[in-house]
Amino acid sequence: MNGNLAELPLYWKAPYQTTLITEIIDIKENNVALKQTIFYPGGGGQPCDEGILEFRNGESSEEFRIISTYKEDGKIWHKLGHKGNSLSPGQQVLLKLDWEKRYSLMRAHTAQHLFSHFIKKKFDCETLKANFEPFTIDIEVDKELSAENVFEVLSDVNLAISKNSKVNSIIISQEEYQQKYRNKIRGKDSKEDIVRLIEIEEIDDLVCCGGTHVDNLLEIQGIILQELKHNKIKLLIGEHGLSYANKQRDYVIQLEKITTKKNDKLISVIKNRFEDYIRVNDALVETLSLIFKNIKQSTEAVKNLNYTNLKLQNVNRETIINSIKSIPPGVFITLLGYNNILYFISTSDVSSADVVKKLQETNNYKGGGNQKFAQIKLEETEKIEEIEKKIRQIVENLQPS
Ligand SMILES: [Zn+2]
């Protein structure tokens, strides 16, 4: 990394950006270097990004798969799945990130910061190595801990995740780093001219790191232990952790059925894992219930009811349903949740199902519901602000004047 702040990589400045129009500056066989990129070249245990490079030539366009991204000779290279004879320096191209892979890595990477923070704080245990796959973290630490110890750490991690805390990226000169931050960081020092720090507000954790991370801890949605072997720990993230825990629970039930003499130790380990995940879910419900309880502070009056729009991209249907009873009467909420599903929640006279039906008159949305609760699935390309404007109008019109 050279010392020019203007040339900072976009995956630092805008980790949520998924497309970019840019220009080819160099080509080597089927490797392309670009003026700017949103693709992470890999490093610090985080795999590189993959995606698509699209080249438009008048009416026709050609697509290349980007099968890996790497740094060499001070440039970031994008390795294409096949050779691009039509490509040459100076041409404009469109980059599209494999967002599913990248976002799951952002979640896993941020979760690792948290885990390393708490394992250090609780057991003075250093993280030696961390590798990420989508939804999976492999960590090697400098001590052998018991499963109970790891569960203790995970309980702190999952509690922190539930607290709606911000994750900040701080980019500064080496000089400023030495003056202000050098003594506050956990883990490895940085000798780069430009230093990139990742700060987790809630727990005051500060690390020199060049990877990609989520903006808010809630996006991780919880961590669960899959495997502990000596000083090697394998963790699963969010929905993958949940489906693993569910499978384990089924497995325990099966085991209980077929064994006369139960394997108590195995059953208790699996039960612990499952309970750990339940705790995460409980914490999420608790957080959302609090938001709902105080919702009137952030609503606007639309005729006779209190109206508001929320965006909580890791909240799912189950969490909402378990939190609904905290909403005071006379409120209408839309909530954009996990997987681009828009939920409608009403404790007022306006029916959620009626609002969805009206909305479906203008667009062919899949979904439906009842008076209190309804949902529709949005397309990735749709602008939520425009839909929210429409919904506000519908909510207004559905009330008597
Ligand atoms: Zn990091």
CA of 253 to the centre of ligand 1 (A): 38
Q: Which domains does the chain have, with CATH numbers?
A: 5-97 (2.40.30.130), 103-246 (3.30.980.10), 294-397 (3.10.310.40)
pLDDT, one tens digit per residue, over 154-205 is 989 988 988 888 999 999 999 999 999 999 999 889 999 999 999 999 899 9
pLDDT at 2: 42
CA of 133 to the centre of ligand 1 (A): 14
- Asked whether the predicted pLDDT for residue 135 surpasses 70, the reply is yes
pLDDT, one tens digit per residue, over 233-257 is 999 988 777 777 767 766 666 666 6
CA of 128 to the centre of ligand 1 (A): 14
CA atoms within 13 A on the CB side of 23: 5
CA of 46 to the centre of ligand 1 (A): 9
Q: Are 139 and 233 in contact (CB under 8 A)?
A: yes
CA of 11 to the centre of ligand 1 (A): 12
CA of 215 to the centre of ligand 1 (A): 12
pLDDT at 203: 93
What's the rounded mean pLDDT across residues 114-142? 94
Least reliable range by pLDDT among 267-276, 321-330, 381-390: 267-276
CA of 44 to the centre of ligand 1 (A): 8
Place 263 in a pLDDT band, splitting at 50, 70 and 90.
Answer: low
pLDDT at 243: 72
CA of 170 to the centre of ligand 1 (A): 12
pLDDT, one tens digit per residue, over 65-117 is 999 999 999 899 999 998 878 899 999 999 999 999 999 999 999 999 999 99
pLDDT at 25: 95
Separation CA 394–CA 354 (nearest Å): 9
pLDDT at 194: 93
CA of 89 to the centre of ligand 1 (A): 33
- Asked whether the predicted pLDDT for residue 3 surpasses 50, the reply is no
What percentage of the chain has pLDDT greater than the value 70? 92
What's the rounded mean pLDDT across residues 285-302? 85
pLDDT at 26: 95
pLDDT, one tens digit per residue, over 21-76 is 999 999 999 999 999 999 999 998 999 999 999 998 777 889 999 999 999 998 99
pLDDT at 131: 93
CA of 276 to the centre of ligand 1 (A): 24
Separation CA 336–CA 340 (nearest Å): 6
The reported pTM is 0.68
CA of 219 to the centre of ligand 1 (A): 15
What residues have a C-beta under 5 A from ligand 1, the ion?
Answer: 209, 211
- Asked whether the predicted pLDDT for residue 4 surpasses 60, the reply is no
CA of 139 to the centre of ligand 1 (A): 13
Place 284 in a pLDDT band, splitting at 50, 70 and 90.
Answer: confident
CA of 149 to the centre of ligand 1 (A): 23
φ/ψ of 270, rounded to 5, equals -65, -40
The count of other CB atoms within 10 Å of the CB of residue 297 is 8
CA of 209 to the centre of ligand 1 (A): 5
Average pLDDT, the chain: 88
CA of 330 to the centre of ligand 1 (A): 43
